Amino acid sequence: MSTESAAGRDQTTAENPWPVRTVARKIADWIHRLGAVWVEGQVTQISARPGTQTAFLTLRDPSADVSMTVTAPMRLVRAIEPPLRDGASVVVFAKPTFFLGRGTISLRAAEIRAVGIGELLARIERLRRLLDAEGLFAPARKRKLPFLPKGIGLITGRASAAEHDVLVNAHNRWPAAPIQVINTAVQGPTAVPQIRKALSILDSDPNIDVIVIARGGGSVEDLLPFSDEALCRAVSAARTPVVSAIGHEPDSPLLDYVADLRCSTPTDAGKRIVPDVREEAARVHQLRDRARRALHGWVDTQARLLNQLCSRPVLADPIGPINRRADDVELHRERGRRAMLNTLSHEQAAVASARARLTALGPAATMARGYTVVQYPDDQGNLQVLRSISEVADGTPLRVRVVDGAVHAVARTVEPGE
């Protein structure tokens, strides 16, 4: 029994490990049982040397940093029309193969199909409907760009016309606009990972208020990275507003629908991310003129109102009405004084007259004149004025009293003949 067979039957341990050849063979047996599969990806590298019967391709997933090696007969590669080139999308029918000597996995292609424009557009349309259903295109989630961003991030190709258009137009409109440029691939299999990385860097920068993703025009295949699902979701999840400036006016990759603002060209993006300093200066001057005219108008109105108030009699001669009222007060005061004196004189006269009447009617005055008024009760008990002593019978009581010239009634019997 061989050592390999024994090791295959025994469970591997630190004391009884498997040889490398055993592990490699077991992996190869498991991979060879997988069978052939259809694989889709982008071609990133083609190695087809003249005189050889095998071509080597690198197939890359455009949405992830994953690639595999594909080996194919040279006749398959030459039969594809148009010829394969880097960045082309293909569908490969291949069987996974494990090479024992190198310990690597490769796909051995039996059929290679280039993905046509129609198929690409159909896939983009299906993805568009999916993202739209998820709400990534909804206008409510699109954010408004700041009026004057303190920092602008630009993701574009190195030394490209798109970079030149954005920078020139933005600086022509606002020369002090700070723009941070990150150059990435804008087509091919490496475009999506590089753009996503640049987007993450700019989105995490607190000094960046808006991010522009720009690329010039190109074919549908050239613009495929900007319809990639992973890139669209990354733009949708970004906290910073994103501006899409891809291709020309007819071009509409999915990034245009996800971005917060879609610009028809990079030139249009340079004009829309910053205001025009000349227009803003003219607007400031216009507002200053309007404010000055409004202030002058208000001052003139208030001056006219003040002049009208000052021209009124009460303000033209403020002391005159007071003096006239003072004369009226003095006149009425004098009238009141005279009326009061007249009233006092009249009342004093009335008091004096009443006093005279009382004096005249009083007993003292009567006594002073040498007679008095005597009253006596009659038979019914009523008091009667005595006019003659003969009016009363003998023995009728009469009451007369005189004290200090004042007469008071006192009991006194008047005898006949007195």
**Can you tell me the mean pLDDT for 273-293?**
93
| pLDDT confidence band for 323 (50 / 70 / 90) | confident
| Mean per-residue pLDDT over the chain, rounded | 82
Q: How far is CA 189 from CA 112, 120, 212, 236, in A?
A: 18, 15, 21, 21
Structure tokens at 277: 């300093």
Domain ranges of the chain: 20-115, 122-275, 279-313, 317-361, 366-411
Model pLDDT, residue 391: 65
Model pLDDT, residue 69: 87
Three-state secondary structure call for residue 377: strand
Tell me the pLDDT tens digit for each residue of 26-36: 888 888 788 88
Which one has a higher pLDDT value, 391 or 155? 155
**Helices within 148-190 (DSSP H only):** 161-173
- Which among 30, 4, 31 has a CA at the least distance from the CA of 18? 4
| pLDDT confidence band for 406 (50 / 70 / 90) | very low
**Can you tell me the mean pLDDT for 44-56?**
81
Model pLDDT, residue 365: 66
CATH for the 122-275 domain, from 3.20.20.70, 3.40.50.2300, 3.40.50.880, 3.40.50.450: 3.40.50.2300
How far apart CA 109 and CA 69 sit, in angstroms, is 10
Query: Which CATH class for the 20-115 domain?
Result: mainly beta
Asked, colleague to colleague, whether 20-115 and 122-275 share their fold, the answer is: no
Tell me the pLDDT tens digit for each residue of 284-320: 999 999 999 999 999 999 999 988 888 877 777 778 7
Report CA torsion sign: 318, 319, 323, 325: positive
Question: What pTM value is reported for the model?
Answer: 0.53
Model pLDDT, residue 371: 58
Report CA torsion sign: 144, 148, 151, 153: positive
Q: Reply yes or no on whether the pLDDT at 223 is more than 70.
A: yes
Q: How far is CA 390 from CA 152, 153, 372, 378, in A?
A: 146, 149, 16, 13
